[in-house]
Amino acid sequence: MTTILTKSFPQDKQPLTKPAPGKKRVLIVGGGFAGIAAARALKRTDVEIRLIDRRNHHIFQPLLYQVATAVLAPSEIAAPIRQLEAKQKNLSVLLAEIRGINLATRIVEVACPGIGSRKLEYDFLVIATGMRPSYFGHDEFARFAPGLKSLNDAETIRAKILSAFELAESTDDEKERARQMTFVLVGAGPTGVELAASIAQLVSVTLRNNFRKIDPAKSRIVLLDGGTRILPTFAESLARKAANRLTKLGVEVSTGVKVEKVDDQGVIAAGNRIPAATVLWTAGVSASPVVKMLGTQTDRAGRAFVGAFMDIPEAPNVFVAGDAATMTQDGHPVPGVAQAAIQQGRFVGHVIANRVRGRNDGRPFRYRNKGNMAVVGKNFAILEAGYLRSSGFVTWWVWAALHVLALPQLQNRFRVQTQWFWSYLSGQRSSRLISEGPRSSSSQQ
């Protein structure tokens, strides 16, 4: 890990960071799609940018489910945020967590690992902290049903899935074996659908001949959703095709079903117990707690209501972008997808650049929907772009090409393309590793 600071200060005597004379200070909180887009948009602006994130890497989240199902390794969909620093001279990166925001004094307090707290002054502040799983008031579910928002989440899910088969192979109890080979996913949005389809192909193809006592293809995969259908953000005709595809893959799709309880034995949904060793949460999301520090109005998911220029009414030079923001366009909310976050981040960067140069803000933000896609296993994807609706093999190839091109680094593109080609031909997945936990002192192996 790169050393961020070379000197430690007593916690009660933290200095304020001083900019170069005459330069405006831009703090960007969050190294996701929106935060990085905002930083890049300011590349040729005479400002000092500090990008703050509690992780040292940017994740290409649309492919996170493939890490969770052992198709790809974590390094293949992630890139170091600090690599931006070498390419952009007016940008510095700080590994830290936000502890407080004071809009009146324009100071953000951060905590750096192993260093302590620091206070950073700003002239412009961009909050782009993304989302985290929401359990709709049942946070106790999180212990048994991990969400999928980070590389750590993906590795946790991968370990749960692969360990389930190892335990099923080890036990002689038929009921326990069946429980270990049952996978329940709560939430049938794009993440739930893609994850369920990937698990279905893992058990039917990749693991087919890997065990002696069990047949992974006999696993039970259940996709639950409280809505009337899967993929509510897609046209109903496309959602129906995706549901049919899931059924062909062996996934049990149940809609209009609400989960009442999640524990170490499985789930209770609509009054019925489903014994399952692996429960995955792909349902609701909520905004990062950092948004609440702004003291601005938020929606039920904790996202900040922003104006036409992505700023908040309490402080015109404070912007919220990406999944942390909510705004309405043509009577509909702007979707929380990667393309929207990139457009908002880039827009905020241009607004800040105009204000620094004494220009007008320009036109208000307007989201340009370039289409939504979801992949449902091998050789099948759906696409909706305006009046265009397509599905099937050709759409799947378009999905693959677009996702390879959108990866953050050239090396990511090469590795993912190579791995996908190998998996397509052989059905094998290269990242079937179960991370070891801490060993006890009595361990002899």
113-159 pLDDT tens trace: 988 899 999 999 999 999 999 999 999 999 999 999 999 999 999 99
Is pLDDT above 50 for 12? Answer: no
Contacts of residue 429, defined as CB under 8 A and 6 or more positions apart, other chains included, come to 69, 70, 71, 202, 206, 423
Query: What type of residue sits at position 15?
Result: P
Phi, psi dihedrals of residue 32, rounded to the nearest 5°: -85, -160
Cα separation, 37 vs 442, whole angstroms: 50
- State the residue for tokens 């369920």: 196
Domains and CATH numbers, the chain: 24-133+285-356 (3.50.50.60), 139-283 (3.50.50.100)
What the block records as the tokens of 276 is: 């399952």
Q: How confident is the model at residue 22 (pLDDT cuts 50, 70, 90)?
A: confident
| C-alpha 175: how far from chain center | 35
pTM equals 0.90
Q: 417-423: long-range contacts (C-beta < 8 A, 24 or more apart)?
A: 419/71, 419/72, 419/76, 420/71, 423/71
Residues in a beta bridge with 132: 286
d(CA 182, CA 213): 16
Asked if residue 59 has pLDDT above 80, the reply is yes
Q: Which two tokens stand for residue 4?
A: 């961020």
Alpha-carbon span 332 to 322, nearest angstrom: 16
- For residue 16, give both structure tokens: 């304020």
Residue 194 annotated as catalytic: yes
> If pLDDT is split at 50, 70 and 90, which confidence band does 10 have?
very low
The predicted-structure confidence for 76-105, as pLDDT tens digits, reads as follows 999 999 988 888 999 999 999 999 999 999
Query: CA 145 → CA 150, 183, 333, 414, distances in Å?
Result: 14, 11, 28, 33
**Residue 94 to residue 79: CA distance in whole angstroms:** 15
Structure tokens at 165: 């088969």
pLDDT, residue 9, reads 31
Please pick, among 48, 76, 155, 194, the residue that the annotation labels catalytic.
Answer: 194
Residue 402 CB burial class (10 angstroms; 0-12, 13-18, ≥19)? middle
What is the pLDDT averaged over residues 174-180? 97
